[in-house]
């Protein structure tokens, strides 16, 4: 909290007037970023774009956001949401709800691609969606913006290409 107060040019007491703890500050900042991602993801999923473009855009959005909000998302991804303390129970519940809704959007895009024939039906849409999100989620194990030769945007484009071309039918 001292570093945050110093960065903002205020004293710690002033910061504590607005934020009760470093955990509360973390939760608020992460919630804002996750909510923003969800809103953009919802726009992508509800757009008139083809499933290929939707999935590509969504993968690239999520990876770019990971890079933009690093190390917050690094910590968030590693967080055990079902084991949050009592004071963070509502936050944890809210984050699990948004994560579930995001997963549902990926499932819907996969199912849309299955329905219009642009994606090969490689398996149940929920398993495919978990795989897509798993690829993104595993990035925290090796990607550090200040150490990686590739940017989050480059990684997102690579992931999107790998995932979409692996799903699409030859005619598309």
CA distances from 36 to 10, 29, 30 (A): 27, 11, 10
**116 domain-assigned:** yes
Per-residue model confidence as pLDDT tens digits over 70-91 = 888 877 777 766 666 677 788 8
1: in domain: no
> Does residue 16 lie in a domain region?
no
Residue range 112-122, pLDDT digits in tens: 999 999 999 99
Please measure the distance between the N-terminal and C-terminal CA atoms of the chain and give it in whole angstroms.
52
Do the domain assignments include residue 140?
Answer: yes
What domain range includes position 131?
Answer: 21-167
For residue 150, being part of any structural domain is answered with: yes
Phi, psi of 85 (to 5 degrees): -65, 170
Residues in the chain with pLDDT values less than 50: none
Ramachandran region, residue 108 (left: φ > 0; alpha: ψ -120 to 50; beta: rest): alpha
| CATH code of 29's domain | 1.10.357.10
5, containing H or E segment:
helix 2-8
Residue in the structure block whose two tokens are 């989620």: 137
For residue 18, give the nearest of 10, 104, 33 by alpha carbon.
10
pTM of the model: 0.85
């Amino acid at each position: 909290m001292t570093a945050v107060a110093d960065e903002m040019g205020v004293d710690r007491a002033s910061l504590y007037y607005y934020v009760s703890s470093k955990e509360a500050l973390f939760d608020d900042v992460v919630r804002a970023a996750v909510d923003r991602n969800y809103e953009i993801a919802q726009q992508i999923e509800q757009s008139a774009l083809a499933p290929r473009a939707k999935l590509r855009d969504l993968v690239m959005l999520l990876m770019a956001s990971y890079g933009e909000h690093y190390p917050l998302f690094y910590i968030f991804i590693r967080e055990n949401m079902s084991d949050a303390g009592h004071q963070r129970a509502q936050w944890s519940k809210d984050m699990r709800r948004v994560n579930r809704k995001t997963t549902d959007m990926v499932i819907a895009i996969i199912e849309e691609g299955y329905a219009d024939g642009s994606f090969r039906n490689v398996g149940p849409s929920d398993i495919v969606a978990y795989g897509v999100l798993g690829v993104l989620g595993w990035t925290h194990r090796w990607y550090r913006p200040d150490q990686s030769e590739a940017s989050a945007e480059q990684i997102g484009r690579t992931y999107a290409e790998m995932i979409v071309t692996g799903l699409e039918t030859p005619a598309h």
